[in-house]
């Protein structure tokens, strides 16, 4: 099923090739981890079945070993029985700035002394999108992420610039005041970006704007967009952004 900004109706056949493969999570371990996070945070989930049938729920429990997902069922919801009879649905949920979308199949209503739940097969994959493509995170200070490149007007000058923030579409770099200025509109080729030990990539950066950080010009902020970035690099960036958001939340609570 093709993910879109508007939830896709389950069972709909895409008219063209999947446009967002870079945002698909296929690892069973990663899928289970996302389902557990939905459970731990009691995140609202909207289920949309064929013919517009829909209801809201939350994850009740996750059984990764058995490959089953349980969601809370409201027996008073008039849409519940029609959803079960459809036997499939698309689920949409939001973890802060991240949109999750996944298909659920083999829907069964299960009654127990504790609760009545909707049981479904664990999703094979999950699509994960930033709600705003330009959403940026500041790297944690201890990781000291850098971008290594050659100065576009002085190829013999090798630069290692600190990364101030990063998003799926670009990043901001700190240009020290003792380095010759760079001009907006420049294309920075073969930039080696190292965000942490697990997130390294090579990309072309297009310099969008140059902003003085302080009135005394003690450095400049280089706003850059990514060009010619691979699907693997997009996936790595998405994981890094998600993990950085999660770690910042944990630090704020400690």
pTM higher than 0.85 for the full model?
no
Q: Are residues 147 and 246 in the same domain?
A: yes
Q: Are residues 27 and 126 in the same domain?
A: yes
Give the pLDDT of residue 222.
Answer: 92
Of 63, 95, 130, which closes a domain?
130
Q: Is 182 exposed, middle or buried (0-12, 13-18, 19+ CB in 10 A)?
A: buried
Q: Are residues 120 and 166 in the same domain?
A: no
In a domain, 174, yes or no: yes
Question: Tens digit of pLDDT for each residue in 54-74?
Answer: 888 999 999 999 999 999 998
Question: In the structure encoding, which two tokens stand for residue 221, read together?
Answer: 């902020």
CATH of the domain at 67: 2.30.110.10
What is the pLDDT tens value at each position of the chain, 254 positions in all? 445 444 444 444 344 445 456 688 889 999 999 999 999 888 889 999 887 778 889 999 999 999 999 999 988 888 899 999 999 999 999 876 678 999 999 999 998 877 889 999 999 999 987 655 546 677 766 668 999 999 998 989 999 999 988 888 889 999 998 899 898 889 999 999 999 888 999 999 999 988 876 555 568 889 999 988 888 888 888 888 888 877 776 766 65
In a domain, 135, yes or no: no
The whole domain housing 111 covers 21-130
In a domain, 14, yes or no: no
CA dist 29 → 23, 65, 199, 214 (Å): 16, 10, 19, 45
In a domain, 121, yes or no: yes
Number of separate domains in the chain: 2
Beta strand 126-130 with 146-151: parallel, antiparallel or unpaired? unpaired
Q: Are residues 193 and 162 in the same domain?
A: yes
In a domain, 1, yes or no: no
In a domain, 6, yes or no: no
Give the pLDDT of residue 98.
Answer: 79
CATH of the domain at 237: 2.40.10.220
Which string of DSSP letters, residue by residue, matches the chain? ----SSPPPTTPPPSSS-S-GGGEE--HHHHHHHHHHHHHTT--EEEE-GGG-EEEE-EEEEETTTTEEEEE--TT-TTHHHHHHH-EEEEEEEETTEEEEEEEEEEEEEE-SS-EEEEEEPPS-EEEEESSTT--BPPPGGG--EEEEEETTEEEEEEEEEEEEE-SSEEEEEE-TTS----TT-EEEEEEEEEETTEEEEEEEEEEEEEESSTT---EEEEEEEES--HHHHHHHHHHHHHHHHHHHHHHH-
Question: In the structure encoding, which two tokens stand for residue 138, read together?
Answer: 């500041």
Q: Are residues 125 and 147 in the same domain?
A: no
Of 78, 99, 130, which closes a domain?
130
In a domain, 91, yes or no: yes
Of 73, 95, 130, which closes a domain?
130
Q: Are residues 156 and 240 in the same domain?
A: yes
Give the pLDDT of residue 19.
Answer: 47
Q: Are residues 163 and 234 in the same domain?
A: yes
């Amino acid at each position: 099923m093709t993910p879109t900004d508007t939830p896709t109706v389950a069972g709909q056949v895409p008219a063209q090739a999947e446009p967002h493969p870079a945002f698909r999570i296929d690892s069973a371990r990663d899928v289970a981890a996302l389902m557990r996070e939905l459970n731990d945070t009691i995140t609202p989930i909207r289920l949309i079945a064929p013919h517009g049938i829909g209801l809201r729920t939350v994850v009740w429990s996750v059984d990764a070993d058995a490959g089953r997902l349980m969601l809370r069922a409201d027996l008073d919801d008039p849409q519940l029985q029609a959803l079960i009879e459809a036997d499939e649905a698309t689920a949409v949920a939001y973890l802060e700035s991240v949109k999750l979308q996944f298909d659920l199949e083999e829907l069964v209503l299960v009654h127990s002394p504790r609760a009545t739940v909707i049981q479904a097969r664990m999703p094979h994959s999950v699509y994960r999108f930033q709600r705003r493509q330009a959403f940026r995170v500041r790297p944690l200070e201890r990781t000291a992420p850098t971008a290594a490149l050659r100065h576009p007007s002085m190829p013999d000058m090798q630069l290692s610039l600190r990364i101030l923030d990063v998003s799926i579409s670009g990043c901001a770099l700190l240009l020290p005041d003792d380095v010759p200025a760079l001009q907006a509109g420049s294309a920075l080729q073969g930039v080696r970006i190292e965000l942490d030990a697990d997130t390294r990539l090579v990309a072309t950066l297009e310099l969008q704007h140059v902003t003085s950080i302080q009135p005394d010009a003690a450095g400049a902020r280089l706003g850059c967009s990514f060009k010619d970035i691979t699907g693997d690099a997009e996936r790595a960036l998405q994981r890094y952004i998600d993990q950085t958001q999660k770690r910042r939340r944990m630090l704020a609570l400690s």
